[in-house]
Amino acid sequence: MRATAVVIERPEHLMLKELELTAAAAGDVVVEIAWSGISTGTERLLWSGRMPSFPGMGYPLVPGYESVGEVVEAGPGSGFAPGERVFVPGARCYADARGLFGGAASRVVVSGERVRRVEGELAEEATLLALAATARHAIKDGLPELVVGHGVLGRLVARLTVAAGGAPVVWETDRSRRAGALGYDVRHPDDDDRRDYARICDVSGDPGLLDTLIARLAHGGEVVLAGFYAEPITFAFPPAFMKEARLRVAAEWRDDDLAHVQALLAGGGLDLAGLITHRLPAVEAERAYRTAFTAPDCLKMVLDWRPRR
């Protein structure tokens, strides 16, 4: 069994390539992918070669952890049946490339324990489930009063905070990204003089921002680092000491985060509208990735893997 996959051969060198897939086991499903999202955080680091080394890192690799498709084969121990629509948070099923994260392909073989059913009428919007669950993971221990960054993750953090009864302020330095707020205020940091935020959620990925954020905390306040930071994070100790600042790192989502987000979507408590701004057929993958990483107006790019009519 083979599939067409996005392969990053080396930094800034991406192509579509036919790859052999590993055989499906009794607990696996084979999924024909319809859509896959492009992450402007972790995937940009993989593409640029700036991703810090960690287990599984190396080239060539297949990126992608935001895929949605239909089960076409289901092993007896998988818990799924052909015809079900599922969300795929990545796969490691390639004989000739690393699966990091492995979801950007026309077909994947993946354990039934990893995929999640997509309920209701969600189609390409289901590619956003991983980011929505990641946003929920960042705020489930306390709602932020300030969110830093108004990309897709920042918007989801803000929308989920509003859904939970909060009223966050969002900082965004790029004028073109300040539109699209749903129930919260977006402003440039220079237009905000508040210095008593109890909790700040930073999704910017900027390793040099921590001193600025600590200066805006209330005494005993917390900064949640919810972005991905390619460089070491440093901060001046005396201001943090004086404020008894707390730092927390929010990592990837867990099953309860995804279940919470899916329940909100089913009940109308979360809106994913306006987050997918760009779409291209998978045959234009190289153009799609460059656009996702360089176009200021691109919030989320989705590759369409469906056969072209």
CATH of the domain at 77: 3.90.180.10
Mean pLDDT across the chain: 94
Is residue 265 domain-resident? no
Higher pLDDT, 155 or 308: 155
pLDDT tens digits for 50-63? 887 776 678 999 99
Among 213, 233, 249, the domain boundary falls at: 249
Task: Give the DSSP H/E element, type plus range, for residue 57.
Answer: none
Residue 126 CB coordination number (10 Å): 28
Is residue 126 domain-resident? no
Residues 6+ apart with CB under 8 A from 33: 67, 68, 69, 88, 103, 105, 106, 107, 108, 305
Distance between CA 187 and CA 228 in Å, rounded? 22
Is residue 124 domain-resident? no
Strand boundaries in 11-126, DSSP class E: 13-20, 28-38, 61-62, 67-74, 85-88, 98-99, 107-111, 116-117
Q: Note down the domain range covering 300.
A: 2-118+277-304
Task: Examine the domain organization and report whether 80 and 25 are in the same domain.
Answer: yes
pLDDT score of 99:
75
Structure tokens at 294: 């360089």
Task: Examine the domain organization and report whether 34 and 71 are in the same domain.
Answer: yes
Task: Examine the domain organization and report whether 194 and 104 are in the same domain.
Answer: no
Task: Examine the domain organization and report whether 221 and 291 are in the same domain.
Answer: no
Give me the phi and psi of 185, to 5 degrees please. Answer: -105, 135
Task: Examine the domain organization and report whether 138 and 110 are in the same domain.
Answer: no
Task: Examine the domain organization and report whether 216 and 159 are in the same domain.
Answer: yes
* Cα–Cα nearest to 35, from 117, 122, 145, 101: 122
Is the pLDDT at 253 greater than 90, yes or no? yes
Is residue 123 domain-resident? no
Is residue 58 domain-resident? yes
Task: Give the DSSP H/E element, type plus range, for residue 292.
Answer: helix 285-294
| Whether this model's pTM surpasses 0.85 | yes
Would you call 67 helix, strand, or coil by DSSP? strand
The amino acid at 202:
D
Task: Examine the domain organization and report whether 49 and 91 are in the same domain.
Answer: yes
pLDDT score of 50:
84
Number of domains in the chain: 2
> In Å, how far are 102, 171, 226 from 95, measured between CA atoms?
12, 44, 33
Is the pLDDT at 248 greater than 70, yes or no? yes
Distance between CA 148 and CA 206 in Å, rounded? 10
